[in-house]
Amino acid sequence: MKSFIKFLSLSLLIVALATPSFSQKNKKSKTIQEAHVTYNMTAEGSMASMMTGSSMDLYFTTNYVKLIANLMNGMVKMDVRMDNKKNSGIMLMDMMGQKKVVEMDEEQMNNSKPKNQKPTEVVYTKKFKKIAGYKCQEALVTVEGMDEPAIVYVTEKIKPNNLGDVSMMQFTGLKGFPLSWKIEQQGMVINMVATKVSLDKLDKDTFDMTIPEGYEKMDIDDLKGMGNAFGM
CB distance 127 to 114 below 8 Å = no
Digit-coded pLDDT (tens) for 70-92: 887 778 888 989 888 888 889 89
Give the integer Cα–Cα distance in Å for 108 and 92.
16
- Give the pLDDT of residue 199: 95
Give the integer Cα–Cα distance in Å for 232 and 230.
5
Pick the residue with more confidence: 21 or 149? Answer: 149
**Residue type for 11, please?**
S
- Give the pLDDT of residue 231: 37
* 3-class SS shares of the chain: helix, strand, coil, % to 5: 20, 40, 40
Q: Where are the beta strands (DSSP E) in the chain?
A: 35-44, 55-60, 64-71, 76-83, 88-95, 98-104, 121-131, 134-142, 150-155, 177-185, 188-198, 216-218
- Give the pLDDT of residue 39: 94
- Give the pLDDT of residue 37: 94
- Give the pLDDT of residue 230: 40
Is 136 exposed, middle or buried, given 0-12, 13-18 or 19+ CB atoms closer than 10 A?
buried
Give the integer Cα–Cα distance in Å for 212 and 26.
37
65, pLDDT greater than 50:
yes
Give the integer Cα–Cα distance in Å for 30 and 158.
9
Highest mean pLDDT among 5-14, 24-33, 74-83, 204-213 belongs to 204-213
- Give the pLDDT of residue 73: 75
CB distance 101 to 217 below 8 Å = yes
- Give the pLDDT of residue 126: 97
Going by CATH, does the domain composed of 2-231 fall within 2.50.20.10?
A: yes
Stretch among 3-12, 68-77, 117-126, 151-160 having the lowest mean pLDDT: 3-12
Full strand arrangement of the beta sheet holding 177-185: 121-131, 134-142, 150-155, 177-185, 188-198, 35-44, 55-60, 64-71, 76-83, 88-95, 98-104, 216-218
